[in-house]
Structure 1
Amino acid sequence: IPDPPVAPNVTDVGDDWCIMNWEPPVYDGGSPILGYFIERKKKQSSRWMRLNFDLCKETTFEPKKMIEGVAYEVRIFAVNAVGISKPSMPSKPFVPLAVTSPPTLLAVDSITDTTVTMKWRPPDQIGAAGLDGYVLEYCFEG
């Protein structure tokens, strides 16, 4: 059987999904790697859940249907014609979070010789991470 792959990297997260990738195992067991099985679990749980029943032929995968704001880990099994590897080490924990939508109705409220006062409405959607505040960027035309 092949060696397990190295722990996967989670490269991007959304409200209920992530994108993960990994390197093939260093040793394929002398038989080509046919694909991979992927599992995930909630960080505080000990129960792993298989995410694919058809072999994943790529070294990237997009788990979905996770709960926003909950920490997860993922791991990989390599498969060749002989059998299934031991699991990889788990990924670093990650938390799916929705992106906060932009503020709306941005407008100039008042202007003086030295100041401009702006106003806006809060975002329509605020993810589980909450809203810490606003960053205002401006540039001078000249």
Structure 2
Amino acid sequence: MDTLALLLGRWRVERRVVDRLVGDETVFTGTAVVEAAGDDPEGPASYVEEGEVVRGSHRASAGRRLTYHPRADGSLDVRFADGRHFVDLDLRAGAWEARHPCAPDDYLVETRVLSPTSFVERWTVRGPAKSYDAETTYTRED
């Protein structure tokens, strides 16, 4: 199965971010929908995440948008909403590791498929400006 075929659908999202610089934790809970962005089944797909973020006593709505551009080999070129490259993603073997170039900090992402209905994504960010660990669990809703 190619990566996009695995990700299409509606997902429950639970993310925990531990900020090592300030010593606090942020939790995001919401949904993500991955669907074809147009009529071309081999064209890009949109990722729309919406939910609530909680940091201490502060609560707020939060979300993000990405675009998944399929490659002929079954992997994805993941881009920010403005079209800039974010990260490569290839889950055909069930796990993937990549780096996101964002100087001066180092961003490492590890993604692992747990089952056809769930996967986990771990970010380790270290550098002079940021230092945090984030773990997101995705569970299929549809």
More contact order relative to length (CA 8 Å, sep ≥ 6): 1
| Bigger Rg, which one | 1
